[in-house]
Amino acid sequence: MRSLILAAAFMVSASAAFAASDEPIQPIQPAKIANPAMVELGKKLYFDPRLSKSGFISCNSCHNLSMGGTDNLKTSIGDHWQEGPINSPTVLNSALNLAQFWDGRALTLQDQAGGPIANPGEMASTHTLALSVLQSIPAYVAEYKNVFKSDKITVDGVTKAIAAFEETLVTPNSRFDKWLKGDKKALTGEELAGYELFKDSGCTACHNGAAAGGNTFQKMGVVEPYKTSSAAEGRVAVTKDEADRFYFKVPTLRNVELTYPYFHDGAASSLTQAVDTMGRIQLGKSFTKEENAKIVSFLKSMTGDQPDFKLPILPPSNDSTPKPTPFNK
């Protein structure tokens, strides 16, 4: 359905590759920042709710960096308290995905960044309005000019900056990564048993690579149909081919203990429930309570170092800045 892996996203250092050469999951590597000024601009834009029509919703609203890069809701809340149709995937390690969104309709983080701004169910603005807000703020104009050498703020520049910031949101140094790199004391006996069961059961057929997912599209419900009452049930993949219904990008399992609830419809509220459901409908396997607990213990070992940075102080609006359109509670 898609090409498998963006090769550059899954490169590892020689030492790590040697230590983990026989494992289907590879260590997460720290971010390499090529343009700090662009990243800093992107960080401000990521946290700025003025990109929304209401002046209330930012990228961080649905991809909260204090909550595993998600909002921990079944489906996200958008403009005028609209409930979205699908669960918000984590932004953490999203640069390792072969595409963005559950259906892969955006191939890059930059492609993805412009979508929610103009989506009437999310930030509900328009690109024209959002740019006029930014253009009216002298500090943004100056910072944008420093990065892009232009006085005119464009959608391409805004989304490029947001993507540059998101590319830094990787989570290396989990205990599982330390084990992959050779520290055999990094995992407990139960966690290691859970990893072996995870592999032996066939989970790594889909959850592999540095992100333990994110690199293929697979059908939800291989052995038995997945049943959901969510509006997400009617989604057809970006191919628009009816045969691709219920095909979704495999989610990353990195930091999965932080990114509940699970699945495209948020139907699984706990890792225990998610492991049970995946075992049944994807593998045709019923895990015992003890087996499930071991796999859950392993999954929790993949929580890495969370992004650590100072929250940006956003530049102030002025009299010429278009006013937001707040919505009533």
Q: Please say whether the dihedral angle defined by the alpha carbons of residues 219, 256, 7 and 208, taken in this order, is positive or negative.
A: negative
Helix (H) or strand (E) holding 279: none
Alpha-carbon distance 257 to 270, whole Å?
Answer: 9
Inter-residue contact 180 to 19 (CB < 8 Å): yes
Q: Is 122 a catalytic residue?
A: yes
Closest CA to 102 of 282, 231, 273, 8: 231
For residue 262, report the phi and psi dihedrals to the nearest 5 degrees.
Answer: -110, 160
- In degrees, rounded to 5, the angle at the alpha carbon of residue 89 between the alpha carbons of residues 83 and 92 is 140
Q: Where are the beta strands (DSSP E) in the chain?
A: 217-219, 247-249
Tokens of 209: 């690579």
Inter-residue contact 125 to 117 (CB < 8 Å): yes
Q: Which of 40, 122, 167, 191 is catalytic?
A: 122
Alpha-carbon distance 324 to 50, whole Å?
Answer: 7
Rama region for 19: left / alpha / beta (φ>0; ψ in -120 to 50; rest): alpha
Element counts in the chain: helices (H) and strands (E): 12, 2
Alpha-carbon distance 134 to 147, whole Å?
Answer: 15
Would you name the residues annotated as active-site residues? 122
